[in-house]
Each structure stands twice: as structure tokens, then as C-alpha cells.
Homo-oligomer: A and B are copies of this chain.
Amino acid sequence: MTTATHPAQAQYALFLQRGLKLDMSRGKPSPEQLDLSNDLLDALPGFSAADGADARNDGLGVGLPEARALFGSLLDVPSAQVVVDSSASLSLMHDVIVFALLNGVPGGQPWVGQQSVFLCPVPGYDRHFSICEARGIKMINVPLNDDGPDMEVVERLVANDASIKGMWCVPKYSNPSGAVYSDQVVRRLAAMQTAAPDFRLMWDDAYRFHHLTDEHVRVAEVIGACARAGNPDRAIVFASTSKVSWAGSGIAALASSPANIAWWTRHAGIRSIGPDKINQLRHVRLLKDSATVEALMMRHAALLKPKFDAVLAQFGAHLGDVPGVSWTVPKGGYFIDLITPPGAARKTIALAREAGITLTPAGAAYPYGVDPDDSHIRIAPSFPSLPEITQAAEGIALALKVAVAG
């Protein structure tokens, strides 16, 4: 005698027998992607910077001139408004918030003595939210649409509440939904009236070069937009080579108004005598210019695209007819957002885990780890091999079917 089971449960039970073991919790590049930058291992011909400085020694807190020029051209910003650091952009964001908390940004008092709140378009990047939570900044969710944050909501909130000091923005191929900010959204963010005079847009341009299709989406340049709108110090732009060269050994840049750059340089100079300029030399040699970066990113895309396609194909095959289930089809970036019926994300992730697939925890894309609808699952296809990711996507789909059936 057997108990009658839902067909999805039978499929899931069969999948369990494969004994898969796969960690898909983070958007790490694959070894094959890292191999694309192995020329970083080559010996440098020397250690003199363009201005003659000895890149081995202390100093040059703003970064090497040639590294600033490279990021200036990549970000469409004058190189005088760019500083290049050795660490990852996440660290630069963290330190901007620390300096703002303890010292205040230009035109403001230290945030730490006041109630300080950030707007968080959701779903969003968990590490942004962790910085706020760990350092005592309150977070308010705002809806993220396909063309950026819901500007009606944003404008109303910032106009009336002086405790709202900032907002996280991933303007292109956003993590995890793949949203791309429209020109109109950028204009409105640049121009909106804020009750706080020291309001800042934390503009994490993490996926600026990370296209997955031939359509290389462009987002309006925000620093100039803010300046034209009379809010020159509003935007602080972050970028890095983390998913261009080597995730753990890249270089990162911060770009902003002259006043913000002077402020950053002063405060970062308390923390450090200067960045790792040898690694900047290595990167300038590898990445050269915009065209070289673009060509490298197409090689990344060639490795990534089949993995995204495999996930989308599995989802289409298994989930196409499941009511209330949908997913994003990003034009770039590192993630797919799998949207479940309300209340099914946590259960799906638990079932996937039983099948050997570790996913980003449910709720991670929301402040405080709380997805109010329990309906978002972040899929990170980059690290596993193509056969692995294909199996994993199938397993996730089956887990979701069981979750909604049960």
C-alpha cells in the first residue's frame, strides 16, 4: 500500500535521491571567470606611477593618477572627482556611513546624535541593509519597480521627514531583481526636495559593466544630474572591479562632488596612509580603458549567460503553469529574483536545502531579514558549473511546487 502523493512530491522525492550538494547562497564569480584576469599574476615591469611616485611606499590616499583616470572614464566623471582605494566598494560604503555617523557629511551634523533613517528599495542587497542594522541606522522599505524605486513614495517620505538621511540605490541590474533606473527616476532622485539638508544617495553602481545581453543598458549619470538640480553633494557613487577582475583582490572607486571628495579624503586619511597602489598598477595594466573593460565583460557574459538561460529554462518548464509564481529575466547583473506566492519562500528554501541546495536565506533581500510577504528567493547562478546550476534550478523549482502544493 502506498500513500497517494501529489506529482510534485514524487518528482521532489526522486530529486532528493541525487544527493546534490551545492552552495548558491552568494553571487560569487566562478573559477572560469576569475581565470579571465589571471594576467594580474604576471610580474609588473616596475613600480613607478604615471607621476613618478613609488607605488610601493606610503601615501597617495586618493589613489594613483592613472587609476583615477581609468575609473573617471569608466564612470563618466572627471578624474579629480574620483578616489581609488584598494579595498572593495562595500568597505567604502561602510566607511562613508561611519564618517557620517561620527562626523557628519558636508552641510550636516553627526548622524549618531539624531534619529537617522535610510530608505531601502526592496528587494535589495542584504549587505547594504546589514551596514545600517549593525551601525544603528533605521530602515524603511520602499517598493522597487522595474524602472527604479516608486518615486511617489520616495518623494513623499523625504519631503516630510528630516530624519531620513539617505537611500540605497543599485541603479543598474539591481540585486536581486535586475531593475534598471529610468532617466526619469534618476532626474527625480536628483531633484526631489528633502527635509534633511544632508540627505545622501548611496549609489552602488555594482553592475555597471555586467551585461548579459547585447543591449548594454545605460543609466543616466547621477552626479551631474544632482549638480544640475542644485543638489551637487547628494550622490556618492561606488564601483569596483570585484566582478570584473578578482572578487577578493580588486580595486574600488568612490566618485562624488568636489566637496564630498574633499570630505572623504580628509576622513579616510585618518584611517589609512594610502591604498595598495601596486594592485592599482596591476589593474590599470590589465584593464587599460573602457574598450578593454567592455571586451573583458563580454567574456564574463559568455560564461554567465548560459547559466542564467539554464535557470530560466528550468523555471519555464517546471513553474510556467504554477499560479502566483514568476521570476525576473535580468539584462545584466548576478541574480534572478524568483517570486513565490505569499508565504512560500521560506518553505521552498528549506525544501531546497533538504535536497542539498543552499540558497540565500529567505528575507535576506529585505531590511532586518524580513520579507513581509515571504515571497522572494534570490537565485545566484554565477558560481556553480552549468550542469550543477541546471540541476539546482530544477531542484528549486520542484521544491517550490511542493511548497505551494502542501
Interface check A86, CB cutoff 8 A: yes
Contact pick for A112, options B31, B102, B276, CB 8 Å: B102
- Compute how far the CA of A41 lies from the CA of B277 in the bound complex, rounded to whole angstroms: 13
- Compute how far the CA of A248 lies from the CA of B42 in the bound complex, rounded to whole angstroms: 19
If A86-B86, A270-B94 touch, whether A56 touches B34 (CB-CB below 8 Å) is yes
- Candidate in A47, A101, A279 with the most chain B CB atoms within 10 angstroms: A47
Say yes or no: B31 contacts A54, CB within 8 Å: yes
If A54-B34, A249-B277, A279-B276 touch, whether A271 touches B101 (CB-CB below 8 Å) is no
| Copies held by the complex | 2
Name the B residues within 8 Å of A98 (CB-CB).
98, 102
A367 to chain B, nearest CB (A): 14
Say yes or no: B246 contacts A278, CB within 8 Å: yes
- Compute how far the CA of A57 lies from the CA of B272 in the bound complex, rounded to whole angstroms: 24
Interface 9-mer from A130-138, A181-189, A305-313, A350-358:
A130-138
A393 to chain B, nearest CB (A): 22
- Compute how far the CA of A247 lies from the CA of B56 in the bound complex, rounded to whole angstroms: 6
- Compute how far the CA of A270 lies from the CA of B93 in the bound complex, rounded to whole angstroms: 11
Name the B residues within 8 Å of A272 (CB-CB).
87-88, 90-91, 94
Q: Which range contains the number of A residues in contact with the other chain? A: 35 or more
If A90-B272, A101-B102 touch, whether A248 touches B41 (CB-CB below 8 Å) is no
Q: 0/1 per residue, A176-208, Cβ < 8 Å to B?
A: 000000000000000000000000000000000
Interface check A275, CB cutoff 8 A: yes
Interface check A347, CB cutoff 8 A: no
A23 to chain B, nearest CB (A): 11
Interface residues of A in 1-45 (CB under 8 A from B): 26, 28-29, 31, 34, 37, 40-44
A327 to chain B, nearest CB (A): 25
A143 to chain B, nearest CB (A): 26
Name the B residues within 8 Å of A273 (CB-CB).
88, 90, 127, 247-248
Say yes or no: A102 contacts B135, CB within 8 Å: yes
A110 to chain B, nearest CB (A): 8
- Compute how far the CA of A91 lies from the CA of B130 in the bound complex, rounded to whole angstroms: 21
Say yes or no: B47 contacts A41, CB within 8 Å: yes
If A101-B102, A248-B278, A279-B279 touch, whether A271 touches B91 (CB-CB below 8 Å) is yes
A54: nearest chain-B partner, CB-CB: B31
- Compute how far the CA of A34 lies from the CA of B87 in the bound complex, rounded to whole angstroms: 22
Say yes or no: B90 contacts A271, CB within 8 Å: yes
Name the B residues within 8 Å of A112 (CB-CB).
102, 112
Interface residues of A in 271-302 (CB under 8 A from B): 271-279
Say yes or no: B43 contacts A246, CB within 8 Å: no
Contact pick for A130, options B41, B55, B270, CB 8 Å: B270
Say yes or no: B246 contacts A56, CB within 8 Å: yes
- Compute how far the CA of A37 lies from the CA of B274 in the bound complex, rounded to whole angstroms: 19
- Compute how far the CA of A142 lies from the CA of B98 in the bound complex, rounded to whole angstroms: 29
A108 to chain B, nearest CB (A): 16
10 smallest beta-carbon distances between A and B, as pairs: A56-B246, A94-B271, A249-B278, A134-B270, A58-B247, A34-B56, A249-B276, A57-B247, A91-B272, A91-B271
Enumerate chain A interface residues (CB-CB to B < 8 A).
26, 28-29, 31, 34, 37, 40-44, 47, 54-60, 86-88, 90-91, 94-95, 98, 101-103, 112, 127, 130-131, 134-136, 242, 246-249, 267, 270-279
Given contacts A43-B43, A56-B246, 7 further A-B contacts (CB under 8 A): A34-B47, A87-B276, A91-B271, A91-B272, A102-B136, A248-B273, A279-B279
